[in-house]
Amino acid sequence: MNYPNGRRSSSSRPASKSTRKRTNFSNRGMTLEEDINTTNEYYLASDTAVIHKKPTPVQIVKVDYPKRSAAVIKEGYFKQASTTDYNGIYRGQYIDFEAKETRNKTSFPLANIHQHQIDHMKAVHYHGGICFMIIRFTPHEETFFLSAVKLFHWWDEQYEGGRKSIPYSFIKRNGQHIPFHYQARVDYLKVLDKLFF
């Protein structure tokens, strides 16, 4: 059987009663990054938006050539600190966001973000771009959209004696839940339409 993404089913025959297991479709074995990449491919194919994952700049130092057709990178370094994960354009607006998963049930640790990423997001926001985070709580199997402005508040507060994490309850109340969809798995453009357009 071929699925819409062109891949073949892993098994062409039904499992026997002894090997059948109850299938959990909730996370579908995908990471947040894979889900967002699939969503962005759908946006591009449907001519909805042009949003891509930013490549991480790496300086390759040592390469091994075991044979002519195969090169193996043995040593490399990050050239510079990366900014956010994704950027692009939607409805004439510049879009820039970071995506993070956490296994924490009660909060999102701010240690998952770096100062240079916050500085970048603040600059994007200052210059009129739309900047946000997509946060997935894997224990709850829930994904949320959190505007950068709400993130900045928690980031700045931690240096004035505040928490070093954002409570799950705050994100649930003040973020936007992004339900799973078949084609646009993390359909964050629906949230942008609601909040900005």
Give me the tens of pLDDT residue by residue for the chain, a chain 197 residues long: 444 444 444 444 444 444 444 433 344 446 999 999 999 999 999 999 999 998 766 667 777 877 767 777 777 665 556 789 999 999 999 999 999 999 999 999 999 999 999 999 999 999 999 999 999 999 999 999 999 999 999 999 999 999 999 999 999 999 999 999 888 999 999 999 999 99
The per-residue pLDDT for 111 is 95
Flag whether 159 is in a domain.
Answer: yes
Flag whether 15 is in a domain.
Answer: no
* Predicted TM-score of the model (pTM): 0.76
Flag whether 45 is in a domain.
Answer: yes
Flag whether 8 is in a domain.
Answer: no
Flag whether 125 is in a domain.
Answer: yes
Provide the domain count of the chain.
1
Flag whether 189 is in a domain.
Answer: yes
The per-residue pLDDT for 126 is 97
Identify the CATH number of the domain in which residue 49 sits. 3.40.1350.10
Please list, in sequence order, all residues whose beta carbon lies within 8 angstroms of the beta carbon of residue 145, skipping any fewer than 6 positions away: 132, 133, 134, 175, 176, 177, 178, 188, 191
